Amino acid sequence: MSELSHKDWIGKASAIRFRDKAFIDGKMVAARSGRTFASVNPATGEVLAEVASCGEEDIDLAVAAARRSFNTGVWSRTSSAHRKEVLLRLAQLLRENLHELALLESLDMGKLVRDAAAVDVPGSAAIFQWYGEAIDKIYGEVAPTGEGDLVLVRREPLGVVGAVVPWNFPLDMATWKCAPALAAGNSVVLKPAEQSPLSALLLAELAMEAGLPAGVLNVVPGLGETAGQALGRHMDVDCLAFTGSTAVGKMFLQYSGQSNMKQVWLETGGKSPNLIFADCGDLDAAADMAAFGIFFNQGEVCSANSRLLVQRGIKDALVEKLVQRAAVTQPGDPLDPASKMGAMVDSRQAANVMRFVEAGKKTARLVAGGDLVTVNGRGSFVQPTIFDDVAPADPIARDEIFGPVLSVIAFDDEADAIRIANDSPYGLAASLWTDSLSRAHRIAGRLHAGTVSVNTVDALSPMTPFGGFKQSGFGRDLSLHALDKYTALKTTWIKY
């Protein structure tokens, strides 16, 4: 990708076309009620588009379209080689539309367009490609039964998959759900977050262009309490995959019990610890990655390393390095490639982050940031913020803030570090820094987290499963294991 200037991005943004309708059964359609909601650029406060606000009737239409497409077999019973071909074409179309998709991500939720163009869009394309390449390499089984019996065990698609995704990585999170679900042969009804629906609507358009049949991927923008609840309660949805808050994840579990007992797969909250031991030989690298782990994407990352546990003897030196990094990671115009941080997704989220910051000023030592700021007099931006001398029981060290707020906690030894790290209702991710291979294995085995990154932070790949323990949810995104969520095992027993 050629490097675009600030002026280039502004020019491209001025020419962009926003899709503002639902995508149901291969067509862009208004909500049946005629209602809309505003999609707002959080960096400027400007309304980008008035987007169709889907309700129960629209969800019914989308689920019916998905069910028809599944039952006809136009996608569910086509060959894995054909599904592979379509998903590979979709991956290529994502790459060809990189600038438009990156702009939609940035304008809609405030992230740096540079990051969207370098990470989010290429990452989504890579995941569609990975599942396309993988699906024709998944084999069934022959069970070792007795003479005269042949028992076949096959994976079959579930049917209609509902996917409800968050606003922090709009395209990526839609991809994490849709790519394996579609690769397995399901039809999908996708509800993007109301704060960031625009890239999902373009994704549906590109999927049709790639050859996905009408009705196989439907996108229903709308509010959580209307469209999200209707999808969660729907009697003809076979599986619901959700990424978002723990509180809303619990609601989807209730919706399942109140309806058809649909499978529910959750990736919810996190408060990931980053443990740095005194035998870490490169404190500069640890400081670089600790800053990245909390300030990337404005801290709006479910697995953000928001708790920094540092062995007492090196804490002050490390905090000094982090303060220096925070000073040069200030918010700026998301369309400016020179900016280091973007805007919070909306004013409500910014206000919520600042409530934690103001409370933290009374209980811990603020060493960096701590203010709500504007850029060019507009928008909702929070400075990179660091609190030192944080008590492990302090709300800023226990609650998911979902902003660029780091809590530094000192520990004395391994047992102390493990105790503090695991004292959390969440178990999504963790990081640790040490030059001892034995300690790395020993600590990783004791941390209650779905992913433990050693001498880095928040490591992930399409090849490795991502998900958590405890109230961070269950089930795994990414890797071949994600296919377990969207398929069922069928046994065929033949006597001969």
Nearest to 109 by CA among 184, 166, 187: 166
Nearest to 239 by CA among 44, 3, 484, 462: 484
Contacts of 482 (CB under 8 A, 6+ apart): 176, 180, 465, 476
CA distance linking residue 125 with residue 282, whole number of Å: 34
CA distance linking residue 344 with residue 451, whole number of Å: 26
CA distance linking residue 111 with residue 122, whole number of Å: 15
Sign, CA dihedral 265-185-130-23, equals negative
CA distance linking residue 459 with residue 431, whole number of Å: 9
Secondary structure of 149-191 in the HEC alphabet?
A: EEEEEEEEECCEEEEECCCCCHHHHHHHHHHHHHHCCCEEEEE
Provide the angle, in degrees to the nearest 10, between the axes of the packed helices 98-109 and 198-210: 160
Q: Reply yes or no on whether 3 is catalytic.
A: no
Sign, CA dihedral 452-457-462-463, equals negative
In which order are the strands placed within the sheet that holds 273-276?
Answer: 365-368, 385-388, 405-411, 307-311, 273-276, 429-433, 451-454
Nearest to 380 by CA among 407, 404, 406: 404
Q: Reply yes or no on whether 302 is catalytic.
A: yes
Residue 451 tokens, joined: 């992913």
Annotated catalytic residue, options 54, 178, 280, 302: 302
- Calculated CA dihedral for residues 471, 474, 478, 483, nearest 10 degrees: -170
Provide the angle, in degrees to the nearest 10, between the axes of the packed helices 121-135 and 98-109: 120
Q: Which residue has the tokens 């953000």?
A: 304
Annotated catalytic residue, options 194, 267, 300, 400: 267
Residues with catalytic annotation? 267, 302
